[in-house]
A and B are shown apart, each in its own frame.
Chain A
């Protein structure tokens, strides 16, 4: 009697504790996003992945080390990728783009990052700048600023972070003041990817010093050749050195009223909304880097012999590689889930945060262990893994630090448990 009572109690407790998310799937997905959950890829998705993989093998991998060493921007390579439709994948078909959903775009991001995450970041930054427009721009703005991205291989930049405010977006100091029918922007931005190459910027500026965070900021589209913009020097970073990162100064930069994104005061929401599209893709990049680390470590371990056998046969080594695989497979599934949710019209903020937090940790650990597998050679620039180690760290920092992700995830757990 006692036993069955206890087990019944346990069953009831289990049902209460596990929140069941009823998700009604409605049919406004993009052309290719799957309605039902599938862990496999469609013929089209395989074709997209195959193109990105082949391009990476033939075009990115041979030149990645050169761009890492010199910091030279891969203009020619980006142009080739652009010609194949691998850049600006989100731009809707109406404006000359492919209108790929997040899921399909993540296939491209993972493959490009496998070749070089620095080059992939430079390409991804376009998507980051375009995302706020896709979220909130009107037809005039979409035609003017997204249309041009598909007519020429132009770059754009998402310009939010400042020297004094990264995670603390509410603490932004850049001001935008209305003067007549123009807005005047003054401030200093920092760590802006594609800063030196951008044809236009998405800029977040404070427009109401007295309002709460949710109403205090406005998003602007700013032409790169506007008077008053000073582009800083290219920063020398630890890794992803092919990518162009700079400080940008705005001194009395004039922006017409028609370049206000959405409504005045909506900027914070728009800037955060962009992350629902871009965080899964940055996570996909981390997965690509981790996969490269695993492949390089494995190839080395089956050849290199110590104590009479290939080192892959030493469990200490094969266990490191197994852990890489565990991380990669799990992180990729979170990327796919976050993408599928967004593409099918659901909120995906929580899942996107989990994907980004998990994938970035997997990337850093996998790259670190890959260097370990290579031993002394892993520390040397003639071998590919030291670059992966240097490139991996930023994944825990940009696009929302691992700490910010955990803030979001933790809050989301409370919401779900108490729902």
Chain B
């Protein structure tokens, strides 16, 4: 009988459907009064953890406890409540109003891992706001754990997992012992809606709070954003009469030759 503890990392980001704009100061994307939700890849991660738990229960081969964690300001608790409503068992909020870059998040998660001692950590492959695609890999490095990233299929074995990864060249299957890091890709699963009864039950599930200081982690940013601009507006095209004309324009107007 295996009793798994799965740690799922989630991030509160601007909702994917929102049309984002750069703020008035030109320093960042505008977030005030903008709809936020759980990072879609983290929804997939939460769903995967729940499916693992349900499969263990159905085959009567074990149980799983799903702990969901989010690092960020107090509004991150909305994201945690969503995960609890989907089916996670308890939540941890690492409270910080500071900017948290991937390395800082990885260090915070390492501290949580050392507290919780999970058998696997599931993260989204990247957050849709910064598109870093670093936190899972950095966490694996800090913990010296194996990692399987861009997962499109996961099968659990005896103290191991077999993961199908979507990579540039195609599809790769790897097997790693547990504990290990898993990052989710789009085709891993389709996340469920949180049902109304579960939304109400989620209120009663435990939510613990820590700060970076409590965990003894230095979260100072190492990268500085110099400038944010919107992509240049698309210019109209021009019709050229001859190849010579085209070459001339490429050389002298577009300056790419």
Q: Chain A, 45-82, contact with B by CB distance < 8 Å: what is the 0/1 string?
A: 00110010011000000000000000000000000000
* Interface-lining segment among A83-91, A184-192, A227-235, A346-354: A83-91
Instruction: Give the Cβ gap from B73 to chain A, nearest Cβ, in Å.
Output: 16
Whether A47 pairs with B85 at a CB distance below 8 angstroms is yes
B interface, by DSSP: helix, strand, loop or mixed? helix
Nearest-neighbor residue (CB-CB) of B78 within chain A: A43
A98 at the interface (CB under 8 A from B): yes
Give CA–CA (A55, B199) in the complex, Å: 14
A415 at the interface (CB under 8 A from B): no
Whether A98 pairs with B196 at a CB distance below 8 angstroms is yes
A168 at the interface (CB under 8 A from B): no
Nearest-neighbor residue (CB-CB) of A32 within chain B: B200
Q: Chain B, 200-213, contact with A by CB distance < 8 Å: what is the 0/1 string?
A: 10010000000000
Instruction: Give the Cβ gap from A307 to chain B, nearest Cβ, in Å.
Output: 24
Q: What chain B residues lie within 8 Å of A84 (beta carbons)?
A: 193, 195-196
Give CA–CA (A48, B81) in the complex, Å: 13
Cβ-defined partner of B199 (8 Å) among A31, A48, A83: A48
Give CA–CA (A37, B76) in the complex, Å: 28
Whether A44 pairs with B195 at a CB distance below 8 angstroms is no
Q: What chain A residues lie within 8 Å of B85 (beta carbons)?
A: 47
Give CA–CA (A28, B197) in the complex, Å: 21
Q: What chain B residues lie within 8 Å of A98 (beta carbons)?
A: 196-197, 200
Give CA–CA (A89, B193) in the complex, Å: 17
Give CA–CA (A85, B192) in the complex, Å: 13
B178 at the interface (CB under 8 A from A): no
**Given A44-B199, A44-B203, does the pair A51, B193 have CB atoms closer than 8 Å?**
yes
Instruction: Give the Cβ gap from A371 to chain B, nearest Cβ, in Å.
Output: 27
Whether A83 pairs with B195 at a CB distance below 8 angstroms is yes
Cβ-defined partner of A54 (8 Å) among B193, B196, B200: B193
B194 at the interface (CB under 8 A from A): yes
Instruction: Give the Cβ gap from B36 to chain A, nearest Cβ, in Å.
Output: 12
Whether B81 pairs with A47 at a CB distance below 8 angstroms is yes
Whether A85 pairs with B203 at a CB distance below 8 angstroms is no
Cβ-defined partner of B196 (8 Å) among A31, A43, A89: A89
Give CA–CA (A51, B196) in the complex, Å: 8
Whether B200 pairs with A44 at a CB distance below 8 angstroms is yes
Give CA–CA (A55, B192) in the complex, Å: 11
Q: What chain B residues lie within 8 Å of A48 (beta carbons)?
A: 196, 199
Instruction: Give the Cβ gap from B75 to chain A, nearest Cβ, in Å.
Output: 11
Instruction: Give the Cβ gap from A295 to chain B, nearest Cβ, in Å.
Output: 14
Give CA–CA (A173, B195) in the complex, Å: 43
Q: Which residues of B come within 8 Å of A, CB atoms?
A: 78, 81, 85, 193-197, 199-200, 203
Q: List 16 A-B contacts (CB under 8 A).
A: A31-B200, A43-B81, A44-B199, A44-B200, A44-B203, A47-B194, A48-B196, A51-B193, A51-B194, A54-B193, A84-B193, A84-B195, A85-B195, A86-B196, A98-B197, A98-B200
A-B complex: 4 closest residue pairs judged by Cβ atoms: A85-B196, A84-B195, A85-B195, A47-B199
